[in-house]
Chains A and B, each alone.
Chain A
Amino acid sequence: MTLTVGWYMGLAAVLFSIGAAGVLMRRNALVMFMSVELMLNSVNLTFIAAGKELGLVEGQVAALFVMVVAAAEVTVGLAILVAVFRRRATANVDALSELKG
């Protein structure tokens, strides 16, 4: 029994689904951010697995770029979260309904 790239793809799909479930289910904005991070990571895994399979180093380069974008997203997102918390004293997205129609 050998390990094929399909296993990594399947695992990444499952992890991506778990991350999507986290975004849909949780209402703590921090945990939602973490779920997005998990989804980005699972996509990184597919990039690297596909790059290995095709013999291209571009898979790893794409993963590095995803990491950079994720780092930028986390910085700005957490800054927004802290700014919201300073004003509203909550990180619960259900409480942030001021634009609700």
Chain B
Amino acid sequence: MIEVIVFAIFAAVALAGAITMISARNPVYSALGLLTTMFAMAVFYVLLDAHFVAAVQILVYAGAVMTLFLFVIMMIGVDKKEDTAESIPFQRVITFVVALGLGVVIILAGQTAWVTGGAAFGSGDLVGSIETVADSLFGNWTIAFLSTVFLLTIAAVGTIALALFGPAAAPEPETEEPA
């Protein structure tokens, strides 16, 4: 019962954060909304006994990724409010319909055995401690893990290359093109 209450509270928090993120005019508010959702996600992971992933969620997302986002927001335009005029006619309405349809389709598809596999459930004693996760990560999935090492190295090198060999400091802010 306590689980249901915790889930309900943090589901509301996660949804509020997500809606704040897509509706806030100021990008900083968007980032804080996403941060709220990330924390609620970590609570869900704890509820699902994925303790190590919950810790990584806090460290990587709330700690690193959102800090990077906030840094870039502060650097390139916290004061530029997005104009809300729709450049595509009925953009909001179409977006709403598409997103609603997508959610309905996902939920409907999730209820068929074709997607979920219909396997026998119920070994509920899985606890994602560091040991169990590491046993799998460095046992069965070592190659995949090493691939992520290469991926991260390449991403870091690419980022540095973009910063070093990108456009030399250019911008006189151009005159706005006629829309």
Contacts and interface: CB of A to CB of B under 8 A. Distances in A.
Contact of B69 (A6, A74, A83): A74
B82 A27 contact: yes
Interface of A: 1-3, 6-11, 13-22, 24-28, 30-31, 33-35, 37-38, 41, 44-45, 48-61, 63-65, 67-76, 78-83, 85-92, 94-95
A52 to B, nearest CB: 5
Nearest to B144: A65
Contacts of A28: 27, 82
A68 B41 contact: no
B95 A24 contact: yes
Interface in B35-93: 37-38, 41, 44-45, 47-50, 52-53, 56-57, 60-61, 64-65, 68-69, 72-73, 75-77, 80, 82, 87, 91-92
Given A34-B34, A76-B158, A83-B166, A25 B53 contact: no
Nearest to B126: A55
B72 A82 contact: yes
B48 to A, nearest CB: 5
A75 B155 CA distance: 7
B126 A2 contact: no
Contact of A64 (B53, B124, B151): B53
Contact of A38 (B4, B21, B60, B110): B21
A70 B151 CA distance: 11
Contact of A80 (B95, B141, B156, B162): B162
